[in-house]
Amino acid sequence: MSILGNRVLRREDPKLLTTGGTYVGDLDLPSALSLTFVRATIAHGRILGVDSKDAKRAPGVVGVFTCDDMGLAPMPPSMAFLNQAMARPLLASGVVRYVGEAVVAVVAESAAAATDAAELVVIDYEPLAVVVDPLEALKDETLLFPEVGTNNCFELQFGHDDRFFEGCDVVVRQRIINQRVAPCPLETRAAAALLEGDGRLLFYSSTQSAHGVRDTLASSLDLAKESIHVITPDVGGGFGAKATVYPEDVVTAWCARRLGRPIVWSETRSESMLGLGHGRAQVQDVEIGGTRDGRILAYRIDVVQDAGAYPAIGAMLPFMTRTMATGVYDIARAEFNSTSVVTNTVPTVAYRGAGRPEAAAAIERAMDCYAAEIAMDPGELRRKNLIAADVFPYTTPTGTEYDSGNYVPALDLALEMAGYPKLRADQQARRRAGGSRQLGIGLSSYVEITNGVPEGEYGAVEILPNGKAIVRTGTSPHGQGHHTSWAMLVADQLGIAMEDIEVIHGDTDLVPRGVGTFGSRSLQIGGAAVNQAAIEVVDKARALAADLLEADVADIVLDKPGATFHVAGTPSISRGWAELAQASLERAGEPLMAEVDLPTAGATFPFGTHVAVVEVDTETGQVRLVSHVAVDDAGRILNPLLAEGQVHGGIAQGAAQALVEEFSYDAAGNPLTGNFADYSIISAAELPSFDAAFTETPTPRNALGAKGIGESGTIGSTPAVQNAVVDALSHLGVRHVDMATTPERVWLAIQAARADAGNGTKSRKGAA
């Protein structure tokens, strides 16, 4: 019986819950120096001078460095299609472009000494005009890079057809703000660097891609990749933001080489809020058209993406939004145009879902707006327009080919689990009673793309002379449970007990190559690579066993329960894994192992339906999430326990964006939510228990039939919760409430609707 598909407890947890993990901040590096940064206190200004003489004389200070001292080239945008002229200096040079940008590096014998010295650095600025609104940045009136002549750093322009909505009885329009959020991993960014005895650079990094860090350091420092050894210990959360290599990482490595001593750097929470890349930050104008009986015919979306001060992966995320623009719906015509602009804010990067939640938020709000306009139940409207199960692989109007899907069962199961008819009845009863606490029911039927920029992955399996196994993987887990999952795959193929399988990741000396963990890619390509390596080890072992047993290879079978090879029909004479591993060393002079660089057959497309129920106090605007049902389909499920954990975490982050999280600035570019006192991250106290279930529609694009699950919970939950809030207020005339649906925002929407009603007008914001 296969172990796959069973609820196997995480092997990672006992250590984390007892002795604890080992994070970069836990490393004991003798004689290590501490690095801190002097950061910009204004959003946009010319640097007229840096006075660091007092800092250099401060107790314990070893070095104070500016960009000119380092003499290194700026970091260009990592993707070639972003505006390469908007390069990012390792430390601000000439101009600062956002509050929090690193300007001066201070190295001292202790963190306290470095912090004290940093406060002695005086920077003279000439303030420049500030632009924080991406719509204002579009006008190019205030330029972050005057020499470039524009704030535009990336665009996808396909034009508008003036006859696009011909034949539509109804066209609904709505502006949607997908607000800027901060990732807030519990472990902030951290790095440590030192020179090994042979002169190589050893670099510890809290990252999602050890090999990506190695390659970027090599490029930035003009070093050979082989001269850099990167280790990723335990990572306390990443959410996409740690898939990026930051200037502070390079500065840490440079200081270690310059000073010849170990350097450690760990940012404070306030620094993290102003330095770790932000997410989302799209302004979306959507138009959806169709018939009065609910058939959607055309969908148009125009996006302005806030890239922050320097173009990074966040600037190109509209590409992913376009890829998934029409969602799960059979819509004949679609148009998408976008422009990404730089602003005087923290640069935007990938954040759980990275462009796909933005697409789902847009189409799912559009569907509810359309349903309200034609007075159709939102569930019925969705069912009427879902892509049929018998047309896959299905190509969308934007050219995306979905691998497999069966959307109706997920919708039906979610509605059944939520008790949808009773919820609607309860809602009507509350409305008739006229109380202040009203019920809202929100739906979201989503599809997303995983391994969306298709890349292969490295996997290897080695059998030790004691019969145990080592797995090496190019993926880089930070909470996903890869040690458990990869051990399950190898145990299933080899018959070796899970406790005898060690998984190694995040060490560029022990794992020769790898891509990393992001985009929900790990199982479908990283797990598949490990699975294939295990299959190939079995093939090698079978050949060895045939030689030892003097039999034909075709007659050798693997008895998985006994973890032995024998001639078919003769189990009494066998060879175990330990014997075969020893034989490989003796006969071939090499370990019994297989390594695989598995190419990808393409992206996969998980999907599902979420139903959120909220209670809104119409007197105060307070929103309470009462229940949340998630039915997700990620192809074949390897371990339901791990999958549920990913969904639960994803729902929490998605609901948080819908309800409370928003990173905001004032007009001068000063952050208004730069710490946890002002930025409302959600906790268990604000969340109900979630009801999660799965349907399974395997993908043909990998041998496991698996799709990604790490980001689905966020993608499905955010629009479901937002739709629920609007639904609770719809009978009052409220048409839309932007995220975050805070009490203030909800209360103001109610007051505006009442004012419209008092004036004798019907609130029709966004409708045409």
**pTM of the predicted model, to two decimals?**
0.96
Domain end call among 128, 145, 168: 128
My answer on whether 584 and 629 are in the same domain is no
> Given 598, 617, 638, which residue is the final one in a domain?
598
Say whether both 318 and 437 belong to one domain.
yes
* Angle between helical axes of 482-494 and 528-549 (0-180°, round to 10): 30
* 586 and 504 belong to one structural domain: yes
**Is 763 among the domain residues?**
no
Instruction: Indicate whether 174 belongs to any domain.
Output: no
158 assigned to some structural domain:
no
Encoded tokens for 141? 């009136």
667 and 699, same domain (yes or no): yes
Average pLDDT for runs of 10 along the chain of length 768: 95 94 95 98 98 98 97 94 97 98 98 98 98 98 98 97 97 98 97 96 98 98 98 97 97 98 97 97 98 98 98 98 98 98 98 97 98 98 98 98 98 98 98 97 98 95 98 96 98 98 98 97 98 98 97 97 96 97 96 97 97 98 98 98 97 98 98 96 94 98 97 98 98 98 98 89 46
Enter the tokens of residue 334. 């679609």
Beta bridge partners of 461: 471, 594
CATH of the domain at 488: 3.30.365.10
Kindly report the CATH number assigned to the domain that includes residue 85.
Answer: 3.90.1170.50
Q: What is the model's pLDDT at position 451? A: 95
Residue-level pLDDT at 767 = 41
What domain count does the chain have? 4
Burial of 454 (0-12, 13-18, 19+ CB in 10 A): middle
- The reply to whether 14 falls in a domain is no
For residue 319, being part of any structural domain is answered with yes
Indicate if 94 and 211 belong to the same structural domain. no
Q: Which helix (H) or strand (E) holds 659?
A: helix 640-659
Residue where one domain finishes, among candidates 221, 241, 275:
275
Residues 331 and 443 in one domain: yes
Q: Which residues contact 635 (CB under 8 A, 6 or more apart)?
A: 404, 524, 604, 606, 696, 697, 698, 699, 704, 705, 706, 707
- One domain for residues 285 and 425: yes
pLDDT value at position 760?
A: 72
Number of other residues whose CB lies within 10 A of the CB of residue 401: 12
In this structure, are 503 and 521 located in the same domain?
yes
3-state secondary structure of 753: helix
Residue 269's closest CA among 100, 488, 124, 420? 100
- Identity at 709, one-letter amino acid code: I
Name residue 322's amino acid: R
Q: Which domain holds residue 560?
A: 457-598
Query: How many other CB atoms sit within 10 Å of the CB of residue 673?
Result: 18
Are both 55 and 112 inside the same structural domain?
yes
Identify whether 17 is part of a domain: no
**Is the domain of 357 the same as that of 434?**
yes
Using DSSP's 3-state secondary structure scheme, residue 285 falls into strand
Q: Are residues 336 and 231 in the same domain?
A: no
Per-position b or e across 15-39, b if 16+ CB within 10 A of its CB? eeeeeeeebbbebeeeebbbbbbbb
The answer on 425 and 330 residing in a single domain is: yes
pLDDT of amino acid 768: 40
If one counts every other C-beta atom within 10 angstroms of the C-beta of residue 177, the result is: 16
Per-residue pLDDT, 762 = 52
Q: Which residue has the tokens 């039999």?
A: 551
Does 172 map to a domain? no
Asked, for residue 11, whether it belongs to a domain, the answer is: no
